[in-house]
Structure 1
């Protein structure tokens, strides 16, 4: 783990927890994109299913490979933002389209 000042060791554990929490977020976004119908993305007026599978798959890979601190910080943040955009913006629209009209 961290080989520095003992007072900084709790911070290292917190950052590890943040990194580990980001990985399931990316994996969830990717798995959701994979399991949805391709026509639902078009009907929801979003990028294609293949585009979102690439974005969320790449985001998951970045979340696995990079750390939230150090030289890979910006890549890690970009991966997390990409996964969260899918979860917060695309996923609800896809779900609504596949659910059908409510009345």
Structure 2
């Protein structure tokens, strides 16, 4: 037969899952660090949830992404929260900084 190097399907699936988990961890860490950099007053001025709430949501999201606890739906909700922060809240906060 062949002399090629082929991974079994289960190994490929494991590597894809690992890659996705790592990418989501990077997104969540980036969102958390970004949230920490803005002042609490910026969140109020942008008419968004307060800084403590966003940092708590994003911090718990990072924690659940790192821990091997199978809490799928909660992790999914916190992943969506990270994307909402990056797509909606972060641009609003950055817009306030540019206007000054």
* TM-score normalised to structure 1 length: 0.81
**Match of 1:54?**
56
Aligned to 2:10: 8
Paired residues in the alignment total 93
Instruction: Point out where structure 1 has 5 or more consecutive residues left out of the alignment.
Output: 1-5
**Offset from partner CA, 1:22-49 (integer Å, 9 cap, x none):** 1111111111111111111001000111
1:66 is displaced (CA, Å) by 4.6
Q: Matches of residues 78-89 of structure 1 in structure 2 within 5 Å?
A: 78-89=77-88
Structure 1 stretches of 4+ moved >6 Å: none
**Residues 92, 16 of structure 1: alpha-carbon distance in 2 compared, 3 angstrom cutoff:** same
Match of 2:74 in 1: 75
Q: Retained in 2: the 8 A contact 1:63–1:79?
A: no
Which SS does the other structure have where 2:17 is aligned?
A: helix
Superposition deviation, residue 96 in structure 1:
0.4
TM superposition score normalised by structure 2:
0.83
